[in-house]
Amino acid sequence: MPTIELDRTSDTPVRKQLVEQLRFLIASGHFKVDDPLPSTRALGERLDLSFHTVRKAYQELKEDGLLRSKPGSGYMVEERAPLPKEERIEQGAKIVHDTLQRLVGLGLGDAEIEALFQEQATLLDHAGLERKLITVGRHPELNELWADQVSEALQQTVRPVPLAQLDRHQDADFAFTPHRHLTDVLESIPRGDALGFITHPPSAALERVVRLLEHETLGLVTRYQETISPLAEAVRSAASFDGNMIAASIEDGVDHLEQFVEETALLLYTPASHRRLRPFLKEASCDHEEVSLLVSHDSVEAIVEAVPA
């Protein structure tokens, strides 16, 4: 159970303090959707409160759509669509305005107020407030690569989310997606923001494709069948390659790959297919090179600049 601290000397009623702290713990992920909250009696004993006070706090959160109750099971965290971005900002601005007035009333100057805000923001980070960051794409194999690349750049966890399942992730703080999906993503995550990015095949792979002779065959192996089309199209376009290309996936096994590899002069393969393809590459006479669609350097820089550390 996360720590809840109540200030009994405050003018704010303890029930209201409990509501706001529980609201924070739910928003920051300490309590996740479908997690049960402590019983009203158990939490009352822990905090030295009447269980009636705890029940009133739970009931207020239930009325706000954050909790649901079930006879015999107590209260659980409810999944709900977040407020529209404009409404969140409007309510947040009022809270900040009221807080600033109180701080100025205490005699604090601008520098002291700024230092307090920075200190409290750091404390929230240390308390475990974790942003939800996602990449959104139509093809899982490519989307996982983008999530890994952006995760490494941000040094934060970024989860790949299929475009078709975006409605389950309306609570995302930031979403990163190819520009062609940006409008759809912006409309689907009212709580957060979305940034588009550009992708390209790696230079090393394109250099080898460009050097193929007219009669030589280019091969492409992916993990999933659905990855072939977008990746092949990207390679052809970036390398201006209009020669013969054959493609296969390991989705349905690898028995066909030995003969497939022998038919190619240059074999491109995705990172997700490499492990199962490796035995055939040891004896292969063809050149081979890893290929994927990388998030461009300037796109990564824009993402790093936009997402707070």
CATH number for the domain harbouring residue 227:
3.40.50.1860
Across residues 88-106, what is the average pLDDT? 84
Q: Tell whether 221 and 156 lie within a shared domain.
A: no
Across residues 151-159, what is the average pLDDT? 90
Q: Directed axis angle between helix 271-282 and helix 140-154, to 10°? A: 110
Does the pLDDT of residue 129 top 60, yes or no?
no
Across residues 151-167, what is the average pLDDT? 91
Q: Tell whether 168 and 231 lie within a shared domain.
A: no
Q: What is the number of domains present in the chain?
A: 4
Q: Tell whether 282 and 258 lie within a shared domain.
A: yes
pLDDT at 111: 85
pLDDT at 132: 85
Whether 177 is in a domain gets the answer: yes
pLDDT at 195: 96
Q: Tell whether 35 and 95 lie within a shared domain.
A: no
pLDDT band for position 157 (cuts 50, 70, 90): confident
Whether 157 is in a domain gets the answer: yes
Q: Tell whether 142 and 28 lie within a shared domain.
A: no
Whether 6 is in a domain gets the answer: no
Whether 99 is in a domain gets the answer: yes
pLDDT band for position 56 (cuts 50, 70, 90): very high
Q: What does pLDDT average to over the chain? A: 88
Environment class of residue 69 by beta-carbon count within 10 Å: exposed (0-12), middle (13-18) or buried (19+)? middle
Q: Tell whether 191 and 218 lie within a shared domain.
A: no
pLDDT tens per residue, range 261-283: 999 999 999 999 998 898 888 87
With a pLDDT cut of 90, the percent of the chain lying above it is 51
Query: Buried (b) or exposed (e) across 225-244, using 16+ Cβ within 10 A?
Result: ebbbebbbebbbebbebeee
- At residue 76, the 3 state secondary structure works out as strand
pLDDT tens per residue, range 10-44: 888 999 999 998 988 887 777 878 888 888 988 88
Does the pLDDT of residue 148 top 80, yes or no?
yes
Q: 60: closest CA among 72, 75, 48?
A: 75
pLDDT at 82: 61
Host domain of residue 24 = 14-77
Does the pLDDT of residue 103 top 60, yes or no?
yes
pLDDT band for position 289 (cuts 50, 70, 90): very high
